[in-house]
Amino acid sequence: MHVGELFFIAVGLSMDAFAVSVCKGLSVRKLRPRHLLLAGLYFGGFQALMPVIGWLLGSRFETLIVSVDHWVAFGLLSLIGGNMIKESFSPEEEMNDDFGVKTMLLLAVATSIDALAVGITFAFLSVRILPAAGLIGVTTFLLSMAGVWIGQVFGARFKAGAERLGGVILILIGVKILLEHLGILG
């Protein structure tokens, strides 16, 4: 997998965290640097950790499903992307200005479950997990910080679009992986 593809996956995976960060930015009365840093650290940290856990799980069971790995990658990425698109049309969640450990931990886990599934896919594609996870973590860190700021300054108009874009990116990458393994793309 090329660096460009990994970057697009990182951006796609970051969109849930970005959308939640926009909401966090909307919810705070006075934005402080600590809000930006907390969002970046929680979301970026979990987005980096979850693919590693998924990769470890996928590596362990790779021999069992190596003949269908491209279908698994396509299915997982399409499912995650489709769910992100579906969620972008859902009613807005209640605003919560809490940046405490419990709230941020729950949000970070919830927004990084898709990264766990992508990590499983990375095991089947023989992706070097540490650089990939690092790229995903840094990308999410930066986009989460930007999301809090954008939420504070511009409001919620970018949230749904960000989730849709992330979903489309993940689906397209899944289709590309499937077409490459089927020999349709070179």
How many other CB atoms sit within 10 Å of the CB of residue 78? Answer: 18
Taking alpha carbons only, the member of 132, 161, 145, 152 closest to residue 43 is 145
Taking alpha carbons only, the member of 65, 63, 55, 167 closest to residue 121 is 55
- Please state the pTM of the whole predicted model: 0.74
Q: How far lies 97's CA from each of 33, 62, 148, 150, in Å?
A: 15, 42, 11, 15
Taking alpha carbons only, the member of 124, 14, 129, 138 closest to residue 66 is 124
What pLDDT, in 10s, does the model give residues 129-169?
999 999 999 999 999 999 999 988 876 566 677 778 777 87
**Which domains, from first to last, does the chain contain?**
3-181 (1.20.1250)
Q: Residues 51-74, buried b or exposed e (16+ Cβ, 10 A)?
A: bbbbbeebbeeeeeeeeebbbbbb
pLDDT at 95: 58
Rounded to an integer, what distance in angstroms lies between the CA atom of residue 171 and that of residue 7? 15
pLDDT at 23: 79
pLDDT at 96: 64
25 in Cβ contact with 151 (< 8 Å): yes
pLDDT at 52: 97
Determine the angle formed by the axes of helices 3-27 and 159-181, rounding to 10 degrees.
160
Instruction: For the chain of 186 residues, list the mean pLDDT of each consecutive stretch of 10.
Output: 89 88 84 96 97 92 71 78 79 70 89 88 90 97 96 72 75 81 81
pLDDT at 165: 78
